[in-house]
Amino acid sequence: MGIGASQSQLEWAVNSYTLVFAGLLFTAGLLGDRIGRKKTLLIGMTIFGLGSLLCSFATSPGELIAYRAAMGLGGAFVMPATLAIIMNVFEREEQPRAIGIYSGAVGLAIAIGPVVGGLLLAHFWWGSVFLVNVPIVVIALIGMVWLVPDSRDPSPGRLDPLGVLLSVLGLVLLVYGIIQGGQDADFTVTSAWAPILGGLALLAVFVLHQQRAAHPVLTIAWFRNKQFSAAVAAIGLTFFALMGVTFFLVFYLQSVRGYSALQAGTLLLPLAAAQLIVSPRARHLVTRVGTAVTVASGMALIALAFAGFLLLGRGTGIWVLEVVAFVQGVGMALVMPPATVTIMSSLPREKAGSGSAVSNTFRQVGGSLGVAILGALLSTTYRNGIDDKLTVLPPRCAPPPGSRSRAPSASSSSSADGRRAWSTRPRTPSSTPCTSPRSRPAWSR
């Protein structure tokens, strides 16, 4: 990267964003309801832009990790506010269309991130992938100041500091444990299961506290609404699939098929195209068959796409990947807008920020789990498939007796800015002195 970052430091440049983003999503949504969604949106965009600028000129791995955390802080304020503002700007009959367009834009941004990142890395220095955010943020801030109306909860009640603290610590510990389990491809190590259990315990205490609090930051009764709970679960599962598959595809396209980062990102565009085309139109299917059938159909298409990825091999026609990715994109487009409308319409407008934060939190946790669990499965399969091949290596290149071969890293690449082209590269084997550049796999050159 030009700043001497190790593999572990590269992983934490990604994970620092994820931890701060996931840990503060709910709190940021709560603050938006209290102080005004436009204010939190402007604050978040400003912090995100400054963090991007600082990242682009970071001179050490420590600086990059810290500035990425600042970007996560800004992102946590932006995401809940955007959806909450949409719910307050548009009338109820217009909301499905507005959310469909919003969901399509989010899907497009996630998919084109690797393309833009690969294009910039092919022509400029590594910091350009962050610097490109700055003019976009400046233009967005000008438009928001001029066009976006403010809104807030007129009766927010007293703030519950203990509830806020429990939610932040619980989410941070949970996501940290998930990240560690994915990195080690082993959830039985203490560094994985201990934070996960600690996070779940704190979140359980948080739920109990909210049930007794006079002014809860989260109304637990919302989850007794079956439609609300089912929609939240559907969004979490959808992003579990998206982030897990994206990790797999980056590894498959670059390491197995030998495509560059730019080419790999371009080959994921059908996933984005499907969402951009179908998301704004999903409401028509909802009108005809209902939300439950539409979302179930989308989940079925995502499952079908998962089965389709089993067809991919070293010599499979690339058109197969394109078709399967398009099918998954259609499935996501049938899930996200109706599920989001269900969540937001289940709550009063004054709680739009909190509702949006709940949706985004489950989405982020689901995405982190997708990368960690599916990445760990990929690593285990890779390791099991290569162990018996190591016996043919020259003695100076073979691993020490009893050691395990190093598998691809399942580093958490589910950061919201979608920059996976450089963050999910499999780890370079430690035995590179034993191989010539010509004989090394594409990802180690």
Q: What pLDDT sits at residue 438?
A: 36
Domain that holds residue 223: 7-383
> Quick check: 318 pLDDT over 70?
yes
Residue 197, in any domain of the structure: yes
Burial track 110-129 (b if 16+ CB lie within 10 A, e otherwise): bbbbbbbbbbbbeeeebbeb
Rounded CA separation 162/292 (Å)? 37
> Quick check: 379 pLDDT over 90?
no
Tell me 349's DSSP state. G
Note the Cα 401 to chain centre separation in Å.
Answer: 38
How crowded is residue 401: how many other Cβ atoms within 10 Å of its Cβ?
Answer: 5
Rounded CA separation 361/142 (Å)? 28
Residue 445, in any domain of the structure: no
Rounded CA separation 387/252 (Å)? 19
> In which band, very low, low, confident or very high, does the pLDDT at 421 lie, cut at 50, 70 and 90?
very low
Tokens of 333: 């487009």
For 389-408, how does the pLDDT look when each residue is reduced to its tens digit (9 = 90+)?
Answer: 666 666 666 556 555 554 55
Cα–Cα distance list, 80 to 175, 321, 389 (Å): 19, 33, 49
Q: 90 vs 431, which has greater pLDDT?
A: 90
Residue 417, in any domain of the structure: no
**Burial of 228 per CB tally in 10 Å (0-12, 13-18, 19+):** buried
Q: What pLDDT sits at residue 391?
A: 64
Q: 254 vs 321, which has greater pLDDT?
A: 321
**Which residues, 6+ apart, have CB-to-CB distance to 277 below 8 Å?**
104, 333
Rounded CA separation 95/90 (Å)? 6
Q: What pLDDT sits at residue 411?
A: 47
Rounded CA separation 62/54 (Å)? 12
Q: What pLDDT sits at residue 2?
A: 66
Residue 369, in any domain of the structure: yes
For 170-221, how does the pLDDT look when each residue is reduced to its tens digit (9 = 90+)?
Answer: 888 888 888 787 777 677 888 888 998 998 999 899 889 888 887 777 778 8
Rounded CA separation 87/96 (Å)? 10
Percent of the chain predicted with pLDDT > 70 = 84
> Quick check: 158 pLDDT over 80?
no
Residue 150, in any domain of the structure: yes
Note the Cα 124 to chain centre separation in Å.
Answer: 25
For 220-273, how does the pLDDT look when each residue is reduced to its tens digit (9 = 90+)?
Answer: 888 888 888 899 999 999 988 888 888 788 788 888 888 887 788 788 888 888
For 338-359, how does the pLDDT look when each residue is reduced to its tens digit (9 = 90+)?
Answer: 998 888 888 777 777 778 888 8
Determine the longest span between alpha carbons in the chain, in angstroms.
72
CATH code for position 159: 1.20.1250.20
> Quick check: 426 pLDDT over 50?
no
Give me the mean pLDDT over the 88-97 stretch: 81
Number of domains in the chain: 1
